[in-house]
Amino acid sequence: MLRSLFAGLGTTGLVLGLYLGVTTGVEVHADGEVLAVRTTATDVDDLLSRLEVELGPHDVVEPGIGAMVVDGLTVTVQRAVTATVVVNDPAGVLELDAQEFEVTAVLDNLRDVLTASPARHALEVEASFEPHLGASVRDGAVLEVEVAVPVTVRVDGEEVTLASFSRDVAGAVSDAGVALGSLDRVDPPPATPIAEADAITIARVELVEDVIDVLLEHDRVEEGTDDLLLGEQRVATEGRDGLRRDSYEVVLVDGTEESRTRIGEDLVEEPVTEVVLVGTRQPPPVPPPATGGDRDVYLTYDDGPHPTYTPALLDLLAASGAQATFFALGSEVARYPGIAARIVGEGHAIGNHTWSHPRLTTVSGEVLRRQLLDTQSVIQRTTGVTPSCLRPPYGDRDATVNARVADLGLRMSLWDIDPQDWRRPGTDAIVDHVLARVRPGSVILLHDGRKDRGQTVAATERLLAALTEQGYQLRALPGC
């Protein structure tokens, strides 16, 4: 349009100029065209008006529109364009109030667009641009800016700080050059958006196979006989524990075992059932226990202390304000003296359960004596208390055993409720057995050592609540 207009005005302007006597030769650059004309215009504004060159509010004219028109003048019109900057800044690094900005100005390339926008500081951080910043600008152009997320990856005792363009934690870990093992743990999880993870921690996990021999307890069957006094016992058929070899997958995190899962088991030796004859003829000469309150019930635990289950039981008893009696093995007191001391320190009674859990009717008088006195000694040294009561392993005793125990100054302490928790029949079975039989003065036999006593701990928590609700007081055995 300018070319045809300028062509016509060139001749007309020349004629008018000749007619008026004043004409000026100028060169005009506009809209991609370059034209030379002669004109009688006095300034650039007048010149562009005569040429019908319309200016937008952001267009730039050089020299300015007020400049005088002189011979040989070059006038350049630079058209403004409107471009849009779209910012993806998931971590808010640029601290912008919006994510999209429109820029209208005379612009040569996309770098000029970015520089003229509020997102100009993207040039100072880790960011990517599409198209590239050197690309020329057309009206309606769009510049997409993506700002990387700063993140710290902690792994193998070191920290790696980087700026990541990944969408999630998994991508950032990859950007950091960290190779993950199939069992390694990532916190937060790999699918977490990267903007929500200022720091990523990787725990190295190893898989180790561990083979453990597991002792299988033998069954015990009791048969009544008139050949023995009531309550006396004699082994008719020796029982024997079996042996099972278990294979485990052990998960290690930074060299520390975090978990283990059993993956296989092989029976090495079958357990053999034990048959015990129990006398029915008359009761043994056992002194009666001291009496307690009208609603007292006595929880007792054999075979401990154990580093896991005994502290758990002590915590439950403390929370309920209850006391119990722990019949401890001397060997376990020697192994875990701090737990034995805690039993006494928290107001519970501690009794003698022999050193290594033998059947007292099957050992010599000297062995019985050493089993009991060694246990008395280690408990006294460890807790400051000398036990008064003995619980014979398996409840195994006869008149001879009773006399030997009495000579050593100990009193037999038995029970009247046995849910056989050592068989691990299930928490419900243990609780139901006790609650169906409990009465004032009941002595309840439970176990806290030697094997897995998780069911016993769970049952104790429920029994404490149920017995308390029924109005019972949980006490330590009187005289022990």
For the chain, how big is the Rg over CA atoms in Å?
47
Residue 203 pairs with which residues in a beta bridge? 185
Residue type for position 69:
V
Cα–Cα distance measured from residue 420 to residue 277, given in angstroms and rounded to the nearest whole number: 18
For the question of residue 89 being annotated catalytic, the response is no
Query: Count of CB atoms within 10 A of residue 372's CB?
Result: 24
Instruction: Give 3-state DSSP helix, strand, coil % of the chain, rounded to 5.
Output: 30, 35, 40
> Is residue 336 a contact partner of residue 360, using CB atoms and an 8 Å limit?
no
Residue with tokens 């020299």: 63
The burial of 187, by beta-carbon neighbours within 10 Å (0-12 exposed, 13-18 middle, 19 or more buried), is given as: middle
> Is residue 379 a contact partner of residue 350, using CB atoms and an 8 Å limit?
yes
Q: Could you say which of 168, 433, 447, 448 is catalytic? A: 447
Q: Is the four-CA dihedral 125, 130, 134, 137 of positive or negative sign? A: negative
Q: Could you say which of 302, 303, 421, 448 is catalytic? A: 302
For the question of residue 302 being annotated catalytic, the response is yes
> Is residue 54 a contact partner of residue 80, using CB atoms and an 8 Å limit?
no
Alpha-carbon dihedral 273, 274, 275, 278, rounded to 10 degrees = -140
Cα–Cα distance list, 238 to 241, 275, 374 (Å):
10, 7, 26
> Is residue 99 a contact partner of residue 86, using CB atoms and an 8 Å limit?
yes
Cα–Cα distance measured from residue 226 to residue 257, given in angstroms and rounded to the nearest whole number: 55
Q: For residue 269, give the H/E element and its range.
A: strand 256-269
Q: Which residue in 349, 326, 311 sits closest to 457, CA to CA?
A: 311
Helix 454-469 and helix 427-437: axis angle, to 10°? 40
Phi, psi of 59 (to 5 degrees): -70, 155
Q: For residue 44, give the H/E element and its range.
A: helix 44-50
Annotated catalytic sites, by residue? 302, 447
